[in-house]
Each structure stands twice: as structure tokens, then as C-alpha cells.
Structure 1
Amino acid sequence: MAAKKQEVENTKKRKRIAGSNTTESAANESHSKKPFKSAKKPFDSVKKPFNSDKKPFKSDKKPFKSDKADAAGKDNRKIAPASGRERRLHAKELADARKMKRKRHFTLEQDLARLWEKMRCREISKEDRTKLVTEALQKMKGKIHEIAGSHISSRVLQTCVKHCSQSERDAVFEELRPQFLALAYNAYAVHLVKKMLDSASKKQLAGFISALHGHIAPLLRHMVGSVVVEHAYELASAAQKQGLLLELYSTEFKLFKDLVTLKESRLLDVMSKLSLQKGSVLRHMASVIQPILEKGIVDHSIIHRVLLEYFSIADQSSVTDIIQQLSSPLLVRMIGTKDGAKIGILCVKYGNAKERKKIIKGLKGHIDKTAYHQYGCLVLVCILSVVDDTKLITKAIIRELQPSLKELVFDKNGRRVFLQLLHPNCSRYFSPEDLASLNSSIPSFSLKSEASSQTVTSEVSLSDKESKDDVEVAVDELNKDQTSADDLDLAESGKKDPFVRRQELLIKSGLAENLLDISIENVGELIRSNFGKEVLYQVATGGSGGILHPTLDDKINSLHEAIASLAAESKSEDSQEEHVFENFHSSRTIRKLILDCPNFASTLWEKALKGKSELWAHGHSGKVISAFLESPDLKVQKLAKNELQPLVDSGILKYLKPKELATK
């Protein structure tokens, strides 16, 4: 062991000695061995000690010399601030110095920013805010148009316009009026212009709109400027709106706009009054619309109105080009307005299968929000009524509506998506205006359809003298060259039978079963609801044409039982909820179910009313009882006649006979 220990120590000593003589050994080796001849010096693998006597590497570049360096030449480099706070303050000073050179009113903007921080506080009193607003306006007087485009100053001005007096607001408006068009293109000043228009008088608004004439089309092609035109269009009167639109129809309208009255609101009427050529109007409108669509500026109602008027006069190929451009996610941004929803409906009705698929895929992720919208839901209704690809609709639309199915049933607009499948185009659920939008058409397509049908009829009538086979050949030859009336009608309604389409969307997709489950689980809440009762009624009757029968008869009977069980509950004065026979909405729903659904009437009578009809013969519930005698079904009348006839004879119960009910 001792020998081994001695050997290890000798080895360590040898290593230390070798390390001290590394430089000498390396020099000897360099003399003994010839190095590889290269233009570059060999790499020195031996690390040099930290405190080496050799001089550091000298760069070719000269060290940075500060402007404040002394002549003695000690250390010319500027010493950075020590702490983080000092560094931030120093950077801010340098930034302010640069901004002061670049911005003319930098000092004024800083003063305004300090005042703005005080005046926008919620805790400040009205008097103090008024003083601060007046002070800020005094500082800006004569310079408002110069600083309105600044990010800070525009926000200060918006707050001042909101809280200042009417005289001060008028002074700001007068100072900005010559510069409104220039400010309309500024990303920050546009908010100030909108604020000024909101608080403008009728005279001021009319002056602003008159200043826009001649600049409407260029402003609409600008992302920021289009916002100003749209805001002015929303605030304008009917005559002013028409004046803004006329400029987009034709250059001649700029000269003859005073000759047009509100009676000629449609473009076709205006063209006929002024005897304008259709071709020139179409070319001008196309030059206005095309750049707007290419830039994707499709959010504004004024653009939607122009597109609708363009559809009314354009030929089929021009309309098809526009539909192709809009068959994308762009359409989602348009259907939020009344005219935009009409355009969406027309794109769905007259687009081909590929374009319809693009529209449906573009709505992905927005289906739920669209269903709740007043106008957007009409586009969904049109898709359900027209598109033949029910698998795509089930996957893209119905499955996205499933998570919020209960909320949609109770919503005024959301329920209409399901009511269209249960009872299509019912005037009870859709207003005349909504039905007109759903039935809207494009004249160029309709005219071609009529012309094609007339041509086919005339060709066939002319060939009466020919044989039957010759007539069929003639018609086939004609259909090869021209689009038939049936094919054009399919562009609006699709090839599939409407009843079959409804079955696939309601039953095969599982939507009807889910609606029945929700109706059974929430029967009390639905039947008392102003909007939910309509869905409950349609589901309980099996839908229009008995579409839910016989597939879902068991669940429909379960729903009848649930309603009857609810009606069988005793009348209690302590209960917070009204009884279903006495509630305004539920009593009328039950009455309609008795008149239209004999199965429900018998279930309700046996479970809830038999032997208790005298108790419910007064008030709203009396209308429910009398419905058994008014029912067109003789079995329902016979079911309750023995018990209800004494009430009628005594004058407690009044009812209309079925014949009187039909004539009423």
C-alpha cells in the first residue's frame, strides 16, 4: 500500500513539472517537427493564463469618442446610468427630445394629456370637468385642425366634445369643417369626426353631407374613409341617403340629383325618369363596386344597398361574377344588415353547389351568433330551405347549434331556424317583410327562366304536325343549347324534394329528437314562454304535414303526457307560478293543441279535466274548456259533451260552434 501511495505522489509531481514546462516543450516540438505549411498561423491549443503579460488584441477600429470627452483623453466613453429607473428616465428624455424636433405641437400635446387624465376620471365633479374642458379648448383654439390627427389630441378632443357646452361644440365644428374630408382619411381623427356628427344639428349634418358629394366613391374605397360615409349614411334622412346613393349609380346623377324625388327610390325608376342608358350606369357601378370588393370593405349598409340595386339591373354574367366573389367568409360580415341579409339569401339561391359550399364553410364558427341575429337567421333559414347537401348542413350548421339548442328555442330569432323546418314559411313566425326577403329574386335570372319556358312551349306547339318522336327530339336539341326553365328554378330551390330535405334535416340528423327531449324536460317553462311555446306547439302536433309521424310518435305521446300532468296539478293561490290553464301564453297554446291535435285532447281530458271542468270554466281557462266543443273532430266533441253541455245550458260556459269558428 505504501509503495502504491508513493507512486501516485510521484506521478502528480511529474504532472506539475510537465505543466510548468509546457511552453518549453512546445517550443522544442516546434523545432523538431515541421509544421503544416498554410497561409494562416496554426491554432494554439494551449490556453494562456488570465494575467498574461502579452498585450490585448488591437482592433482596427478606433474606440468611440463622446462629444463630452475631456481633452486629457482619460476615458472618452459615456457612462450609462447605474439603476434601471435612471436608464428609463434617460431614455424618455432622449425620446422627448426627438419628438420635440419632429412634432410641432409636442409641448401642447403633453399639456393636453395631463388635463385629459384629470377630466376623464369618474370621480371628478361636473364643475371641475367643465373648467378643465374649457381650459383645454382654449389651449387648442386655432390649432384644432392641426392636432386632430394625433393619437393623443384626438382622444382629448373627443372627451371635450362630449362634455363641453353647445356653443363650444359649435366653435369646434366650425373650425374643423374645412378639414373634415382630410380628417376622414386619418385613422385617429375619424373617431373625432364621428363624434362631431353624433352631436351635430340638422343644419350641420346637412352641410357635412353636402361636403361629401363628389368624394363618396373614393372614400368608400378607403378602409378609414368608408367608416365616415357609413356613419353619415346612418344619420341621414331619406332624401339625404338617396343623394349619397345617386352619386354611386352614375356620373350624370351628380348633375341631375335635384330632379329626382323620393318617389323614385329604386334605381330603375330613376333611370326611366332621366332616360339614362343602362350600359353607362352598369359600367360606372362596376367601376365603383369592384375595387371595394377587392379590398374587402363589405361591412357597410350603403355598400349593401348599392349591390342590391346593381343586381336589379345587371345581366346574368355580371351577377354571377359578384356572387362568386361574395361566396367566401366576406358574406359573414354582410348579413348583419337588412340589405346584407338579402344579398346573402340571393347568393345562396343563385349560387352553384360549389359556391353554396363555400358560403356554408365560411359561416363555420359563426353559426350560433348568426342564428341569434335578426337578419342573419334568415340566411340560415334560406340555406335549410334551398341547399340539397343535407350531410354538409348537418355537419356544419345543425351540429354547431346543438350545444345551445335550449337557449335558441327560447330566443325570438333563434327559434325561427327550427320553425322553418317544422312549418316552412309560416306567416305566424315570419313577418311579411321577412317572407319577402326569403322569396326575393334577381330579375336577370327570372327573365331568362320565363324566356326559356316560353321558347320551349312555342317550339313544341310549332311541331304539332310532326310525329311524337320528332317533337321529343326537337325538345332535346333545344335543351342542349338553352337552359330550361326547370333547371333555372332548381337554382332557387334545389333538386331535392322539400319534404325529403326536411326529413333528412329533422329526423336523420337527430334534431327533432333533441327538440322533443328539451320540450319534455322544460315543458313548464316552454309552454309559459312567449317564444318557446311556438316550438312546443309544432313539436307536439308533429310538424307541418305530420313530418315527425310515425318515427317519433312515442316521444310525442310522452310530451302530451307531460303537458297533461302539468295541467293536472291542483290550483293553488300560494304558488308563485300561474297555473297553465290561467297563464296567458300557456292557456292559448293548450287551446290550439286541443283544436289541432285530437290525440292530445283526449289525453288532456282523461288526465286533467274529466270531472273538473266546472272548476276551470271561468277566465282564461274557460277558453281551454270551450275548445273541446269547438274542435272539428267529432270524437273530441263527444268525449266532453256530456259534462260540458250543462255548463253551456246554465250560461257558465260560452263557445263558438265549429261552423261559426270556421267563418270567423
Structure 2
Amino acid sequence: MAVTGKRKAIALPTEQKKKHPKTEQLKPVLIKQWETLRSHTLTADERRTQMGKMMELLRGHIHEITLKHDTSRVIQTCLKHGTMEERGEIAKELSGHYVELSKSVYGRHIVIRLLKYHPPSRREIIGSFKGSVAKLLKHKEAAMVIEELFAVYANSAERQMMVAELYGAEFTLFNEHKRGLEGLEPVKRDAVLRSLGSTLLVLLEKQPQLSIVHRALLDYLMASAAPEEVTVRARELVAEILHTREGSRAAMLLFLRGGAKDRKQMLKTIKPYLKRISQEEHGHSVLLVALDCTDDTVLLGKTLGELWDTPGELVSDQYARRIPLYMLAGRNPQYVGQDALEMMRMGDTWGASKKDPAKRQSELSGIVEQAMAKWLEEAPASVFEPFPSQVACETLLRARAISNAWAQMLELVRKEVDAGHVLVDKVANRVITSCIMAEHNARVPFGSDVLGVLEQSGQLVDAACWGAFPVRALLESQATGGRTKELLAPHCKRIREAMNAAETGKRNFEAILSHLSK
């Protein structure tokens, strides 16, 4: 039997040569021409000439050579460097063969290149996969093409059509996708969910990273609250599915609907990839929802501990900074994305958390405040950077042990006032202003401290002549308004002269002078 198998393997190329003798003869010529065409030293005119020669060789033989590993690269290069008309010729010869090509290790690259370089053929390519999506997703090579179609090139209606094929034959046959799962009759709905669940079990095993699978999983979880086998399997794969928008929303639902043991298991699954997930556009939202619904804050502290090892990297990242911001400031729309907020509110209606929100918020703040206060104490200049300044501000306003960090802020205030001063800088001044405005309900007399430092250093008038926002805040604060006005009133003329000479910020000068004239 073994010998027979070897003879078949040896005989196959010979059979192919008999079937396409012309193609086999062309191969050496094509490869040689390809080496010339892909050279980086060619000028635009030379490349056009070489491309023309290549198309003369290819016409009538394109389909045969796309399935071979050496000559498939020839077609990829032609699609890259050819004109739209030449790409159209290639598409015309391949028309009707896209499903076949998608199953080929080499042919799938041709389909993906056509999608990229020849927009007029996209609708035909997408249409050619109609009725085959569910089957092709189980094929290793073809699944990559389906994913490219779904994630990049399909419009909203086409995406819905593609994912609807995963719901079962009946759903597709009667065009139920136009109404979606929510519009189905109860009898049909149960049958569709069973069919979708069976399909998902296979796809989660084979292709858990695909966004079309995430979309189908999200639809399934939204329509079925029962903790079935699909839900259990999805929880095991939560770290793999949260990288897309649909996948992250599915992961958030898994956290919201899971019990304490389920959440513990999912957090354990996520922990090895915690830093990377916290820095992802969609992944970080899953962490926020996990923080919002998990009552075991001790477990959360142990899970997230790795993040506090590199606080500078954490607070400087566009998405990772939202983790400490949420833990300090709660569901502030300024810091928490719309997707995460929507899911949190949905969780409220389900009773996802049993703990008092204020108590949980206090416990979450306790996990992070010490690390953030120490970071700010060691890196006070972070208030001049956009993202870190937000964390610095919330740390000062909400953390308890901030005396050393606040002392470093006052040292920045004490410096000579110029364009880069903490009271004038367009980023840093917001931190000081927010602290001054919050003095009436804060544990620290922020405004009084700032005014005291400015008075001692003789910098208050200079700051006013720069039109500094914190000076305006000092005048508007009940705690510091009277004393600030008393100190600045004799210098109105100087402040007005500074305003006339300033190119920007005149409205702030006007506000300061208005307070002084009352």
C-alpha cells in the first residue's frame, strides 16, 4: 500500500503536465519575466513595458497557473503593478472560480489581491460565496478569504447576509435575515438558535479569531440567555475573541451574565495577556466591564497587579490609561467608551453585580490609588502630557495618600512663571485648575495651597499677566476669591496692558479683570 501511495504522488505532476502542457512550457518564461517585473530598479515606463509583455504571456492561462505555488506569485505581482484594465482581464479569466481559488493555499492570495486592487470585481466576488459561507469557514484557507470579505470589503447588508448563513438553511431560505433574530416567531427562533449554536461550537474550535464568528456569537448571546454549551466554550476562549468590536461586546456579555466562578475563570484566562489587552481599542473595554460587574475586588487587585509595575507606560497609553481612570472616577463618559457604558447599563438591568456601587468603587480606588500617587510623586512632569495629566488629575482629586504628590505639584507652581509654567501650559494648567475648583469638596485645600505658594514666591501677578486659567479659578473659588482679589486689585492696569499685548486668550484676561472690577 505504501508503494502504491508513492507512485500516485509521483504520477500527479505528470498528469498535470498532460492536462496543461502549454502552462508547463510557459512556467520558465513567466518566472524569468516575473523576476524582471518585480525589480525595484525599474522606472514607471519600463515597468509598463514589462507588464505588457507579461500580459501577452498570461492571456488564456491565468486560471491554470493561479493554483501553483511558483506561478501564483506572478499573478499577485501583476495585480499589484498592472493597470485597472489589466487587472480586469485577470478578474474576467478567474470569474466563476473564486470559491475554488479560496480553498487553495496559493489561490486564496489571488482572491485577496483582487479585492484590494480591483474594486469593480468586489461585488461579484462577494456574490460568488453566497450559500457557501458556513461551509467555507470550516476550511482553513477559505476562512481567511471569508474573513477578509466580511471585515474589510462587505457593506452592511452583505455582512448581514454572510453572517445569516451561519444561522441555518431555514433562516436563509425565507430571508429572515431582513428581520433578524429578534423578529422571528418563537418556534422558528428556537430552531435557528439550535442550528446557530451547533455551527458556533465548530467555528469556535476551528476559527475563534475571526470577526464573522464573533458577530454570530454576539447575536447568539443577545438572543439566548441560557447558559448552554456555546456559552461555556466561549468563556474558555474569551482572551481570543475580545480583539474585535463584536468579539469584545460578546466577551462583555459573558462577564455580565456569568456567575462569580465564571468571572474568576475568565479573569484567569485573560491574565497572561493583560498588558496587551489593556492597550487594545476593544480589549480594554472588556476589562472595564469586568471591573464594573465583578464583586470580588480582591481577585481584581491580584489580576491587575501587573499593570502597576509600569505605571508610566500604563498612563501614557490611549486605552490602558482608562483602567486606572475608571477605578478612580467610575463611569465618567469622558474616560469610558460608549460600548462599555452601554454594556454596564445593560448589566444594571440584569443585576450583574450584587455589591453596592459606592462600596465597590471605593474598593477599586483603594487598589490603584497608592500606585498612582507614587507614580505622580516620582514623575510630576507628567502633568504636561495629555494622557498622563488626566490620570494625575483624578489621582489628586480622589486618592487619599497624595500629600507627597501634591507637594511636587506645588514645587512646579513655585517656579518662575513663563510660557511653559504649570499654570500656563495648555495641558498642565487644567490639572491645577480642576484641583482649585474642587477644593470645596476635597480633602486637601488645593486652592489655598496654590494661592499661598504664589503669594510667597511673588508669582501671582505674573501668572495673571499670562492670563492663566488657575488664576481665574482662584478668583471664582469661595475659599480663595477674596484674598486673590485683594492681592491682584492694585495691578489691574498691568494686567490690562498684558491683555492688549497678548495674541490669544483675551477672554480669560477679560474674566480676570471682570472679577477684579466687582
Within the candidate set 101, 105, 112, 1:187 is matched to 105
Give per-residue Cα distances to partners, 1:135-185, cap 9 Å, x unaligned: 333333222222212222222211110001111100101111211001111
User: Of 583, 586, 590, which aligns to 2:432?
Assistant: 590
Matched, 1:529 2:385: yes
What does residue range 309-388 of structure 1 map to in structure 2 within 5 Å?
A: 309-318=219-228, 321-328=229-236, 330-388=237-295
Deviating more after overlay: 607-616 vs 142-151: 607-616
The amino acid that maps onto 2:192 is V
Which is richer in helix?
Answer: 2
Equivalent in the alignment of 1:294: 205
Q: In the TM superposition, what whole-angstrom CA distance separates every residue of 1:87-138 from its partner, at most 9, and x where no partner exists?
A: xxxxxxxxxx989636524553343333333333323333333333333333
Which shows bigger deviation, 236-245 or 152-161? 236-245
Does 2:403 align with 1:557?
yes
Selected match of 1:201 from 112, 119, 134: 119
Q: Separation in 1 of the partners of 2:431 and 2:408?
A: 14
Assess, with a 3 A threshold, how the Cα gap between structure 1 residues 285 and 98 changes in structure 2: closer, same or farther: closer
Distance 1:359 1:260 in 2: 32
Residue identity matched to 2:204? L
Please tell me the residue identity of whatever aligns with 1:335: L
Deviations 1:182-225 (A, max 9, x none): 111112211211111112335x2222222211111111222222
Q: TM-score, normalised by structure 2?
A: 0.84
Letter in 2 for 1:222: H
Matched, 1:566 2:408: no
AA of the residue aligned to 2:135: P
Distance 1:572 1:624 in 2: 14
1:101 matched to 2:14? The reply is: yes
**Alignment partners' CA distance in 1, 2:29 and 2:261:** 59
Instruction: Say which of 433, 436, 439 aligns to 2:342.
Output: 436
| Offset, 1:306 | 1.5
Change (3 A) 1:572 1:655: closer
CA contact (8 A) 1:630 1:655 kept: no
Question: What amino acid is aligned across from residue 533 of structure 1 in structure 2?
Answer: S
Alpha-carbon distance between aligned partners in 2 of 1:278 and 1:439, rounded to the nearest angstrom: 26
Would you say the 8 A contact 1:560–1:603 is kept in 2? no
- Are 1:268 and 2:186 an aligned pair? no
Task: Give the C-alpha shift of residue 292 in structure 1.
Answer: 1.0
**Contact 1:183–1:190 (CA<8 Å) still a contact in 2?**
yes
Q: In the aligned structure 1, how far is the partner of 2:250 from the partner of 2:488?
A: 55
Q: Which amino acid aligns with 1:614?
A: V
Deviation at 1:366, TM superposition (A): 1.5
Q: How does 1:441-460 map to 2 (within 5 A)?
A: 441=347
Separation in 2 of the partners of 1:394 and 1:239?
Answer: 43
CA distance in 2, matches of 1:429, 1:230: 31
Q: Is the contact between residue 331 and residue 359 of structure 1 (CA under 8 Å) also seen in structure 2? A: yes
Residue 538 of structure 1 pairs with residue 403 of structure 2: no
Q: Specify the SS of the correspondent of 1:113.
A: helix
After superposition, the C-alpha distances for 1:435-480 in whole angstroms (9 at most, x for unaligned) are: 11343459xxx6xx6xxxxxxxxxxxxxxxxxxxxxxxxxxxxxxx
Instruction: Classify the secondary structure of the residue corresponding to 1:635.
Output: coil
Q: Any conservation in 2 of the 1:119–1:129 contact (CA below 8 Å)?
A: yes
CA distance in 1, matches of 2:490, 2:336: 42
- Give yes or no for the alignment of 1:580 onto 2:422: yes
The aligned amino acid for 1:268 is E
Q: What do residues 315-361 of structure 1 show as CA deviations (whole Å, max 9, x unaligned)?
A: 4143xx22210122x22221111111111111122223333233222
Deviation, structure 1 residue 294: 3.0
SS for the counterpart of 2:272 is: coil
5+ residue gaps, structure 1, are 1-96, 450-488, 658-664
Q: C-alpha displacement at 1:383, in angstroms?
A: 2.2
* Residue 514 (1) aligns with residue 371 (2): yes
Q: CA deviation at 1:609?
A: 4.7
Superposition RMSD on alpha carbons, in Å? 3.0
TM-score under structure 1 length normalisation: 0.67
Q: How far apart in 1 are the matches of 2:53 and 2:265?
A: 56
In the alignment, which of 142, 147, 151 is matched to residue 225 of structure 1? 142
Identity %: 25
Equivalent residue letter for 2:148 = H
> Is the CA contact 2:293–2:347 (under 8 Å) kept in the aligned structure 1?
no
Equivalents in 1 of 2:146, 2:13: separation in Å?
Answer: 35
- Counterparts of 2:81 and 2:95 in 1: how far apart (Å)? 20
Tell me which of 71, 85, 101 is aligned to 1:153: 71
Corresponding residue for residue 29 of structure 1: none
